[in-house]
Amino acid sequence: MSDFWDREVIDKQHVNWMAIPEVRLYINGLIGNGELLWPIEAFEKYLRGRTFDRALSIGCGSGALERELVKRGMCRSVDAFDGSVVSLREARQQANREGLGPRIRYFASDFNRPVFPEAKYDIVFFHQSAHHVAKLEKLYRAILHTLKPDGMIYMDEYVGPSRFDWAERPRLLRTHREIYNRLLPLLRTVDQLLPPIQADDPSEAIRSSDIEPQLNIGFNILFRQPYGCGILSVILPNVRLENLDPATLDALIEEDRKAPAFYTLIAAKPKRGFDAKIARARYWLEPKLKRMTSIRRIIRG
């Protein structure tokens, strides 16, 4: 997985469809309920001036979020990690160029094998990284361990169908294919729209549909703002954007408004007391029970 992300920094292959100006305006309007707000601006507005001494950023990539948090004064210091050493080098260099190096510490780690100190952080950030986590229970349990009693967790995430949902439930793609097939041939890069399962990144959307259900076990939701993209995220990566006219893009955005949201902002706080003990026990036990069940099926099978 780290090889994939190292390559993406050097030779980016992803289609950054969210950067299309009209799409960005649409997303920011949903985030702000009519007011145009970037995700971090919506969270900042929710906080009403609250700041954090020490933050942890999980799956930081090239470091844009951490720099923004420090520059806005939302966090006094940030520890941030990623599995891609190339991304970390770029993040560190850019932070130093902007004079933020002393306040941001970058290190390499694997979020599927989390080891965090006890009660160290005031807030934990995810920015499009949780949907790459296979061992959500282990990571959430570690976050409960490392957050201070009044700490928070922030997510800006894809929470739509996982790669296995797409593979096992072909009907999920029916509406997307109907819309895609109505596009002019000069716009389509493939003859038949395929499930958005990225073969060269096996971590992509590995358990995305479990992110919120598992979060709810150990955390109380404070703030949740879906921002659509249930149609756009599947179709636009397969469109020749240089040929995309404004009328067609507007029509796709209108289709997106009618579809379930695949992306959302979430702020939550850790459960405490007996509820926290139950959550930790569930995070530890339930994956083991699932593995035992899978083994039994294989043996019987």
Q: How far apart are CA 91 and CA 35, in angstroms?
A: 31
Q: Which residue has the tokens 């090889």?
A: 3
If you average pLDDT over residues 124-143, what whole number do you get?
97
Name residue 286's amino acid. Answer: E
Closest to 264 in 3D by CA, of 225, 212, 230, 207: 225
What's the mean pLDDT in 35-48?
Answer: 97
Residue 212 one-letter amino acid = E
Task: Provide φ and ψ at 82, rounded to 5°.
Answer: -155, 165
Give the pLDDT mean for 46-52.
96
CA-atom Rg of the chain in angstroms: 20
* Whether residue 8 has pLDDT greater than 50: no
Q: Judging by beta carbons within 10 Å of its beta carbon (0-12, 13-18, 19+), is residue 165 exposed, middle or buried?
A: middle
Reading the block at residue 250, the tokens are: 């507007």
More confident residue, 150 or 9: 150
Per the structure block, which two tokens stand in for 93? 């260099």
**Residue-averaged pLDDT of the chain:** 93
The mean per-residue pLDDT over the stretch 56-79 comes to 97
Supply the pLDDT for residue 86.
Answer: 95
Cα 142 versus chain centre, distance: 18
Q: What is the reported pLDDT for 4? A: 47
- What contacts 176, CB < 8 A, 6 or more positions away? 193, 231, 234, 235
What are the structure tokens assigned to 295, written together?
A: 């083994």
Q: Residue-wise over 33-65: b if at least 16 C-beta within 10 A, else e?
A: eeeebebbbbbbeebeeeebeebbbbbbbbbeb
Whether residue 93 is predicted with pLDDT greater than 70 in this model: the reply is yes
3-state helix, strand, coil in the chain (%, to 5): 50, 20, 30
159-209 confidence digits (pLDDT tens): 999 999 999 999 999 999 999 999 999 999 999 999 998 888 999 999 999
What CA–CA distance (Å, rounded) separates 16 from 87?
A: 17
Backbone angles phi and psi of 53, in degrees to 5: -70, -50
Kindly report the length of the chain. Answer: 301
pLDDT band at 11 (very low <50, low <70, confident <90, very high): very low
Specify the pLDDT at position 5. Answer: 44
Confidence check: pLDDT of 262 > 90: yes
pLDDT of 12 higher than 80? no
Running DSSP on this structure, what letter comes out for residue 195?
P
pTM of the predicted structure, to 2 decimals: 0.92
> Alpha-carbon distance 163 to 175, whole Å?
17
- Element at 223 (helix H, strand E): strand 219-226
In order of 11, 19, 113, 216, the CA distances from 39 in angstroms are 27, 14, 28, 21
